[in-house]
Amino acid sequence: MSPRLRRLGLALAACGLFSGAAADTEVSVADAGRDAYSQPFPGLTEAERDHFFRGRSLFRQSWVVSPAKDTEVDGLGPLYNRLACISCHARNGRGFAPDRPGERMQTMLLRLSVPGIGAHGGPLPHPAYGDQFNEEGIPGVPGEGRAETAWTETEVVLPGGETVMLRQPAFTFSELAYGPIEPVLVSARIGQPVFGMGLLDAVSAEELERMAAEAKPDGVGGRVNRVWDAAAGRAMAGRLGYKANMPNLRQQIAGAMLGDLGITSPLFGAQNCTPAQAACRQAPDGGHPELTGAQLDDMEFYLAHLAAPERRRVDDPRVRQGERLFAAIGCTACHRPLVVTGEHPKFPRLAHRAIAPYSDLLLHDMGEGLADRRPDYLANGREWRTAPLWGIGLAELIGERVGYLHDGRARSLLEAVLWHGGEAAPAQARFSTLPAPERSALLAFLASL
């Protein structure tokens, strides 16, 4: 998109004429296949492509237990969940929750904390198990234990007679290696899609505050999380993560490297061992830090330049009807079809874009049904960041098993919509009372994203 067209897009947006269908082709791709979440922005230079590919290799890298000959990729653990970033974000897409009894959490993890406020205002980690349950330990270091998921299912009957089974998880711990875990606050997370994150990172704090301050229907509010920026050493606006508890992409990557893989980085240099985990603290490491600054740069570049897929079937009458309904029943109050990015000195390609993430990146009360009762900075136990919906229509093509919502409880977009409560309850109620063909049209619109 030329600067002129980009200005036009912004002007249209200001006039309320932007439909979300006019994708910025410099930061999106028309791919509708299983690689749709894995494409770089079009037009990267050769040097940028090399940078992108180096980051891609690291994102797919299975990390190695130290000591090892492969010193560039060693240092897994001592405690960890999975071997690679891609393990939880298969094909850069979303994860899923275990379905059957005893099934391991392949693409899901459990955040832990205890009541109280931790350093810098975040969750207070569990004294023995830290802030994330790491089921695995490298040889010689006991993993923290096993976590299993059990489901309670309830049937919901929609007007017209359609029945939907909704399920809610409960988690049990066993084989605990470091003593009792309860009392503990637990919140499950499935892997999130990772494309388009650079663009979300580029939404300015001012834009977030502006969106939060806008008057919205149905009593919808929305607020900006304020979270600790480890590099800046101060609180900043949160943008990324299910609770908007990450201020930027770089910290999101470094946090996941430490929490999920046990890989230290320039941002988080200490191993993820609590005082109760003696073997963990004495285990060999893979250098100081294990992920170098250059490697973190590569990963950041890669994720920042993963394009969002363009919409499909935008002229299909049923999709257009669904799009109108999506706005009419109030979904766009939070799932905003237009957001503009601000300055991004590090990656200028991200700056001043009109993007269609279908999110405002703000925290909203989502009701008791989705509550995890685990505060995360300013987010209380009922609040969640509006999930971006771009690309969601390809989720089930790209991953043979996918879940929706933070803990993967929803097995379809219909289930996900029905779980909306709190500020979203009025919109959800309108959706539920739509005649079946109109509900179907709205879902067809979501499938076009």
Q: Which of 190, 221, 207 is nearest to 407 (CA)?
A: 190
- From CA 262, how far away is CA 287, in angstroms rounded? 12
Instruction: Indicate whether 219 belongs to the interface with other proteins (CB under 8 A).
Output: no
Instruction: Determine contact, residues 105/149, Cβ cutoff 8 Å.
Output: yes
Interface with other proteins (CB under 8 A), residue from 245, 386, 432, 448: 432
- Contact pattern for other proteins over residues 126 through 165, marking x by CB under 8 A: ----------x--x------xxx-x-x-x-xxxx------
Instruction: Indicate whether 63 belongs to the interface with other proteins (CB under 8 A).
Output: yes
Query: Residue 270 carries which DSSP code?
Result: S
Instruction: Indicate whether 118 belongs to the interface with other proteins (CB under 8 A).
Output: no
Interface with other proteins (CB under 8 A), residue from 14, 50, 115, 213: 50
Query: What residues from 85 to 104 belong to the interface with other proteins (CB under 8 A)?
Result: 86-87, 90-91, 100-104
Residues that contact other proteins, how many (by CB under 8 A):
70
Specify the DSSP element, H or E, that contains 167.
Answer: strand 163-174
Peptide linkage before 289 cis (omega within 30 of 0): yes
Q: Least distance from C-beta 79 to other proteins, angstroms?
A: 13
- From CA 40, how far away is CA 49, in angstroms rounded? 8
Q: Which of 435, 335, 349 is nearest to 389 (CA)?
A: 335
Stretch that binds other proteins, among 113-121, 173-181, 239-247, 439-447 (CB under 8 A): 173-181
Instruction: Indicate whether 45 belongs to the interface with other proteins (CB under 8 A).
Output: no
Instruction: Indicate whether 369 belongs to the interface with other proteins (CB under 8 A).
Output: yes
Instruction: Determine contact, residues 238/227, Cβ cutoff 8 Å.
Output: yes
Q: Least distance from C-beta 162 to other proteins, angstroms?
A: 11
CB neighbour class for 369 (10 Å; exposed up to 12, middle 13-18, buried from 19): middle
Phi, psi of 79 (to 5 degrees): -110, 145
Q: How far is CA 176 from CA 79, 141, 181, in A?
A: 13, 13, 8
Residues that bind other proteins (CB under 8 A): 31, 33-35, 49-50, 53-54, 57, 60, 62-65, 68-70, 76, 82-84, 86-87, 90-91, 100-104, 106, 136, 139, 146-148, 150, 152, 154, 156-159, 166, 168-175, 182, 184, 186-188, 367-369, 371-373, 418, 421, 426, 429-430, 432-433
